[in-house]
């Protein structure tokens, strides 16, 4: 069976410095081991990095105090998630994960060396917290 071609991520990476340790990372929840594996598998099936297989899940970093990359804006944007995981960049780094600046700011891909790291990533994401924007909204009666 031939090898499936996948899209190369390198040309798509944003040229920007890595986010500071204190930056909050937004990941929709609730996340489970099965979900981390499933999302990482989808990334693996679609992309490569420098020609090599890649495993990863999407996150958004709250890079700014105001505007589309602020924590408030991201929580509102992802209102479909009743809970969110809000680790710091340092939590992911200390657990051995990298954040690749992929696609549009402030999207990142947290990369795993393989599916065997999914459990460690799940732990690093931390406890899920309620998303204040997933609630009763104006006009809903």
Token representation of residue 102: 């992929």
What are the DSSP calls for 29-89, one per residue?
E---HHHHHHHHHHHHHHEEETTEE-EEEEEEE--BSSSTTBHHHHHHHTTT-SEEE--BH
Residue from 104, 114, 130, 132 touching another protein (CB under 8 A): that is: 104
Contact flag: residue 51 with another protein (CB under 8 A): no
Residue from 39, 63, 117, 121 touching another protein (CB under 8 A): that is: 39
Q: Is 117 helix (H, G, I), strand (E, B) or coil?
A: helix
Please give the size of the binding site for another protein, defined by CB under 8 A.
32
Residues that bind another protein (CB under 8 A): 4-7, 12, 27-30, 35, 39, 42-43, 45-46, 57-60, 78-82, 103-104, 107, 134, 137, 139-141
């Amino acid at each position: 069976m031939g090898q499936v071609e996948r899209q190369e991520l390198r040309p798509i990476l944003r040229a920007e410095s890595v986010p500071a340790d204190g930056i909050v990372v937004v990941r929709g929840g609730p996340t489970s081991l099965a979900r981390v594996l499933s999302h990482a598998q989808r990334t693996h099936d679609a992309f490569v990095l420098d020609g090599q297989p890649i495993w990863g899940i999407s996150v958004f970093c709250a890079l700014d105090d105001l505007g589309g990359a602020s924590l408030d804006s991201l929580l509102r944007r992802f209102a479909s998630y009743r809970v969110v995981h809000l680790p710091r960049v340092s939590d992911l780094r200390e657990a051995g994960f990298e954040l690749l600046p992929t696609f549009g700011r402030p999207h990142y891909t947290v990369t795993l060396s393989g599916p065997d790291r999914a459990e460690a990533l799940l732990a690093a994401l931390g406890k899920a917290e309620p998303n204040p924007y997933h609630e009763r909204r104006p006009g809903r009666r």
